[in-house]
Chain A
Amino acid sequence: MLKRHRNFFHYALDCLKKYKTRTFVVLIAFTIAISMLSSILFLKDGLEREAELSVSLAPDITVSYLQGGRVLLLPSSYIDKASEIKGVVRALPRIWGYDGKGLNTYTVRGLDLSGVEVDYGFSNLVKKGRFLVPEDAGTGSIVIGELLAGVLKVDVGDTMILLSESIEANRFTVVGIFSSETTIYTADLIVMPIDDARKFFKIPEGYVTDMIIYTDPEVPVDNVAAELSTMPNARVLTKDILLRGYKAAYGGRGGFLVTFWVILLSAVALVCFSQATIVGRESMFEVGLLKTFGFTTLDIIEIRLIESLILGVFSASLGMVIGIVYDIWFKAGIFAQSLLGWAFLPAEFHMPVYVSFPSVFSLYAVTVLPLLFATTVPAWLNAITDPELAMRRAAA
């Protein structure tokens, strides 16, 4: 019994060799389609996973101030009001914004150093120099990202002059450069004491950009958010909403590209169907002959299934390996730009790539199943024809 199936396997291999054009067309078409599709899918999954990871450690609630549907500065009095709400463990002010330098925009973050606990172990945050300490307030000390240090060619101890929106030159001294391990978050970041950021952005006393809230794990976040929502003009964003935002931002774009490539994959499957039909006519005589020798319809379908399975698994695996290599070593080039919109991707930046088991299985499914269908149906149509008739038709 086993020998019979082994013979079918060898016969299927001979068919792959005999119908070289079909084998070549199917392999090339499916490999290209799968490599593109897998590249986008792994990249999209990577961005979503990174978003989930980052949001998991973000503040529980962020509160900004809306007036007329537009975001304005938040009065500092809101911080005291929020602190009194049941379930709020800490309410911290934030001052942050953007600063243009050359063609790019960098993120400036003011840090309330009195609210930062010292047991975080800041030594692993920076690769050079040191992290900010409370004594740095008002001294113009900053810690910058690795990308920024590279672009501006600055090092620890160097002085940087940043031009604010009020067209004032502000002098800062680099005291530390963030470690490579945190590049994904800190590449373009400038961190300074909160008072320095207030001065830099010219934010009046009594106002902050927004506030972050850490809640008591025993009190549901939504309950605290509901209480915070009763404050006039407050826009309350929970971690969950932020995560949904991320998924909409990256998942939406990824979904568009995946749909595009799935359509292409369907077109490729149709090409395979067409190839199988053409070859089916060529192999009609052969099928007739096999049936005369006692092969059943099922035997012939089994042979075609083995052919399709080998081709499908080969092209899907090769396509995925190419997709992974393209994402990791070539930084996904075109697709990264499409997924991230107008994002500026520096050479130092490595895109997060997530090769998950469900995605891999899905890719095998979308490759192998259409291929099995596209090649088996013509084979079945040939196989159910009367052998004599089939050979006569083929000879005609």
Chain B
Amino acid sequence: MTTMRKINLLPLVALILTIMVFALCFINELSWAALEQSEARKTVREVIGLPSIALGTNYGATRNPLLEVYSTALYDVPGGYCYIYTTSFIGWPMSDPNFFEKVPGFNFTAMKG
């Protein structure tokens, strides 16, 4: 009878750990699928209408209903724009192509002289 050498355990443990990672991945996917079906969470989101997660933050931009992100971009002091959140998704309704392309006759006009 041959005894297993210690070094042979390395690939064996590697295999077990890999199986464990994929098992955890699968379990995690299942738990997320269950969360998606959670009636209580659906109800709270639909009834209370708060789309953001509760982090009890002292920084408005990370607490619900996320609109604070947009407000923070405009900030509270003259000239005090928050440069973290401005640009890409912050804008006036009329500056968003999704909106102004659908408004008939919308245009900016300028006159020289």
Query: Interface of A with B (CB < 8 Å)?
Result: 13-14, 16-17, 47, 49-51, 53-55, 57-59, 62, 64, 66, 69-71, 92, 94, 96, 98, 103-107, 109, 111, 116, 120-122, 124-125, 145, 147, 178-179, 181-189, 191, 210, 212, 222-223, 225-226, 228-230, 234-237, 241-242, 244-246, 248-249, 252, 310, 313-314, 317-318, 320-321, 324, 340-346, 349, 352-357, 360
Chain B residues whose CB sits within 8 angstroms of the CB of A105 once the complex forms:
56-58, 63
Do residues B61 and A320 form an inter-chain contact, with CB atoms below 8 A? no
In the bound assembly, the distance between CA atoms of A92 and B64 in angstroms comes to 18
Q: Which of B29, B32, B38 has the most CB of A within 10 A?
A: B32
Question: Which residues of B line the A interface, CB within 8 A?
Answer: 5, 7-8, 10-11, 13-15, 17-18, 20-22, 24-25, 28-29, 32, 35-36, 38-67, 69-71, 74, 84-85, 88-89, 92-94, 96, 98-103
The chain A residue sitting closest to B76, CB to CB, is A70
For B64, the closest partner residue in chain A by CB is: A107
On whether the beta carbons of B58 and A353 are closer than 8 Å, the reply is no
Q: What would 26 A/B residue contacts be, using CB atoms closer than 8 Å?
A: A16-B7, A57-B45, A58-B50, A94-B49, A96-B65, A109-B50, A111-B47, A111-B48, A182-B44, A185-B44, A187-B56, A188-B55, A191-B48, A222-B99, A226-B99, A226-B100, A228-B93, A235-B93, A242-B51, A314-B11, A314-B17, A343-B56, A349-B54, A349-B56, A354-B28, A356-B28
Closest 10 CB pairs of A and B: A317-B17, A226-B102, A58-B51, A314-B14, A229-B93, A187-B54, A342-B59, A57-B45, A343-B57, A188-B56
Chain A proximity of B108: nearest CB distance (Å)? 15
Docked-complex contact B56 and A54, CB < 8 angstroms: no
* Distance of A263 from chain B, by nearest CB (Å): 22
Residues of B within 8 A of A111 (CB): 47-48
Q: How far is the CA of A246 from the CA of B55 in the complex (A)?
A: 14
User: How far apart sit A109 and B51, CA to CA, in the bound complex (Å)?
Assistant: 13
Q: Which residues of A contact B69 (CB under 8 A)?
A: 245, 249
**Closest beta carbon of chain A to B105's beta carbon, Å:** 11
Within the assembled complex, what's the spacing in Å between the Cα atoms of A122 and B42?
A: 11
Chain B residue at minimum C-beta to C-beta distance from A233: B93
Contact B71 A249 (CB under 8 A): no
Q: Please count the residue pairs between chain A and chain B whose beta carbons lie under 8 angstroms apart in the complex.
A: 238
Contact B7 A71 (CB under 8 A): no
Contact B25 A69, beta carbon cutoff 8 Å? no
A-side contacts of B18, CB under 8 Å: 313, 317
Q: Which of B5, B29, B89, B94 has the most CB of A within 10 A?
A: B89
Q: Is B54 within 8 A of A185, CB to CB? A: yes
| Neighbouring A residues of B70 by C-beta, 8 Å | 64, 71, 235, 237, 245
Listed residue (A47, A241, A245, A342) with the most chain B CB atoms within 10 angstroms of its CB:
A245
- In the complex, which of the residues B53, B66, B74 contacts A245, with contact meaning CB atoms closer than 8 Å? B66
Among A55, A125, A355, which residue has the most Cβ atoms of chain B within 10 A?
A355
Known contacts: A343-B57, A343-B59. The answer to whether A212 contacts B11 by CB under 8 A is no
CB of A9 to closest CB in B, whole Å: 8
What residue in chain B is nearest A191 (Cβ atoms)?
B48
- Report whether B25 and A356 are in contact in the complex, using a CB–CB cutoff of 8 Å: yes
B50 to chain A, nearest CB (A): 6
- A324 in contact with B53 (CB, 8 Å): no
A103 CA to B57 CA, complexed, in Å: 10
**Nearest Cβ in chain A — how far from B31, in angstroms?**
9
Q: How far is the CA of A245 from the CA of B63 in the complex (A)?
A: 12
User: Nearest Cβ distance between residue A107 and chain B, in whole angstroms?
Assistant: 6
Q: Given the complex, which residues of A lie within 8 Å of B53, measured CB to CB?
A: 47, 50-51, 54, 184-185, 352
- Name the one of A320, A345, A353 contacting B55, with C-beta atoms under 8 angstroms: A345
Rounded to whole angstroms, the CA-CA distance of A283 and B81 in the bound complex is: 61
**Closest approach, in angstroms, between the C-beta of A109 and any C-beta of chain B?**
6
Given contacts A245-B89, A317-B17, A54 and B52 within 8 Å (CB-CB): yes
Question: How far apart sit A318 and B20, CA to CA, in the bound complex (Å)?
Answer: 9
Q: Which of B20, B41, B44, B84 contacts A321 (CB 8 A)?
A: B20
